[in-house]
Structure 1
Amino acid sequence: MTEEINKCIEVLENGGLILYPTDTVWGIGCDATNKEAVQKVFKLKQRDDSKALICLVANDAMLEKHVEKVPDLAYDLIDLATKPTTIIYDKPRGVAENLIASDNTLAIRVASDKFCQYLIGKFKKPIVSTSANISGTNTPKSFQNIDKAILSGVDYVVNLHREKQNSSASSIIRLSNDNTVKIIRE
């Protein structure tokens, strides 16, 4: 796993894209602080850049570094969730401006997968995580179902967990600083 993490970090540091297994589905990733890298993700997915992307952080400390104020309720949601849960936060900071939605929010998930935690922890920055598909097509349920355009459009494909069937996408919850909660995707 260490060799895979080191290869990913080299690509991420150079503004490249990785294809990697996450705690949900296979994802396209890049340095979430690099505007040009984020733009490459939109281009590869053929996705309008007004549609926001999710990013992954390694732990609560990294989450707190990239959100102006993490509502206390967020920690309960993260701890009590029975499946990977992405939370949309107000007033993100320290990430690429084209990653932030027009309403000044950002969807962030604290990674629960060991590979993702180690990768992001060693990289020391959030990583974009968006499903490995062309926008408008179905999310692939396994590595074998990933479109050739995605496979050839990234700079590195992680050589781990290719045999496993992926679980479903994460739940998405909008959590405003006034503690208003809205379930976007269960």
Structure 2
Amino acid sequence: MLVSINADNPQGRLIQQMVDILEDGGVIIYPTDTIYGIGCDITNKNAVERVARIRGLDPSKALFSFICQDISQITEYSKTINNDVFRVMKHNTPGPFTFILNSNNKTPKILKNRKETIGVRLIDNNIVDALVRGLGRPILTASVKNEDDTIIEYFTDPHDIYDRYGKLVDAVIDGGPGGTEPSTVIICTGNQPEVHREGAGKLK
């Protein structure tokens, strides 16, 4: 199912339709402020494993991130955030950043890695914001790649994404053209935030 949703003013009826899919354990593809993402409700283990299979990853080793609605929700899944990390997050979100934090016991086990860390995002995109708020829980996010190429490329046209993944997921949201550069990854597990991967985001 390919669903066109207005990027500036998402239609409530269509957002609810996507939220219903997520609540039922479904998998959707959606636009972000960087590249298109594929995801599900983080509390549904079967759905998370399904995303891993679609991406050709081992669920026990996949390093997935998830999207929260605000910093307050992030703190529900992470250990105490120090003042320096909080300041960086506050000044740069929502935006094209993934923050790596120490996880706590509320984080679903399937999303934890051996280092007991998680990747979290606060995305500057009205559609995703509406989805996360409608669901009331974070949404898993993994990049949608063109796996047919030896060089990593990211789909920018949602119709191309639908042609490639439409039969593997429950819905693809057409929210306009996607970007070609992934998020900037910031390691926040020490005393000072450190840039791990340069991407679309430039720290303020």
Question: Residue type matched to 1:153 in 2?
Answer: L
Match of 2:4 in 1: none
Instruction: Give the 3 Å change call, closer, same or farther, for CA 80–138 of structure 1 in structure 2.
Output: same
Match of 2:39 in 1: 29
Number of aligned residues: 183
Pick from 142, 146, 154 the counterpart of residue 157 of structure 2: 142
Match of 2:124 in 1: 112
Choose 103-112 or 79-88, whichever is displaced more: 79-88
Instruction: Give the 3 Å change call, closer, same or farther, for CA 184–151 of structure 1 in structure 2.
Output: farther
Task: Measure how far apart 1:118 and its partner are.
Answer: 1.7
- Partner secondary structure for residue 152 of structure 1: coil
The residue correspondences of 1:31-46 to structure 2 (distance < 5 A) are 31-46=41-56
Task: Measure how far apart 1:161 and its partner are.
Answer: 1.9
State how far apart, in whole Å, the 1-side matches of 2:132 and 2:30 are. Answer: 12
State how far apart, in whole Å, the 2-side matches of 1:85 and 1:21 are. Answer: 15
Preserved CA contact (<8 Å) 2:155 2:180? no
Question: Residue type matched to 1:129 in 2?
Answer: T
Match of 1:74 in 2: 85
Q: Deviations over 1:93-148 (max 9, x none)?
A: 43321111121100001122122112101211010111113667422233244273
The residue correspondences of 1:1-186 to structure 2 (distance < 5 A) are 1-49=11-59, 50-81=61-92, 83-133=95-145, 137-146=152-161, 148-158=163-173, 160-162=174-176, 164-176=177-189, 178-186=190-198
Preserved CA contact (<8 Å) 1:47 1:134? no
Q: Could you state the TM-score of these two structures normalised by the residue count of structure 2?
A: 0.80
State how far apart, in whole Å, the 1-side matches of 2:99 and 2:49 are. Answer: 22
Preserved CA contact (<8 Å) 1:59 1:111? no
- Partner secondary structure for residue 26 of structure 2: coil
Preserved CA contact (<8 Å) 1:22 1:116? yes
Instruction: Give the 3 Å change call, closer, same or farther, for CA 102–147 of structure 1 in structure 2.
Output: farther
Q: Deviations over 1:15-40 (max 9, x none)?
A: 11011111211110100111111100
State how far apart, in whole Å, the 2-side matches of 1:94 and 1:184 are. Answer: 25
Q: Could you state the TM-score of these two structures normalised by the residue count of structure 1?
A: 0.87
State how far apart, in whole Å, the 2-side matches of 1:148 and 1:102 are. Answer: 35
- Partner secondary structure for residue 153 of structure 1: coil
State how far apart, in whole Å, the 1-side matches of 2:188 and 2:154 are. Answer: 25
State how far apart, in whole Å, the 2-side matches of 1:149 and 1:143 are. Answer: 10
Task: Measure how far apart 1:65 and its partner are.
Answer: 1.2
Preserved CA contact (<8 Å) 1:87 1:173? yes
Instruction: Give the 3 Å change call, closer, same or farther, for CA 102–57 of structure 1 in structure 2.
Output: same
Preserved CA contact (<8 Å) 1:45 1:134? no
Q: What are structure 2's unaligned runs of at least 5 residues?
A: 1-10, 199-204
Preserved CA contact (<8 Å) 1:26 1:142? no
Instruction: Give the 3 Å change call, closer, same or farther, for CA 134–16 of structure 1 in structure 2.
Output: farther
Q: Deviations over 1:73-107 (max 9, x none)?
A: 23322233385111000024433211111211000
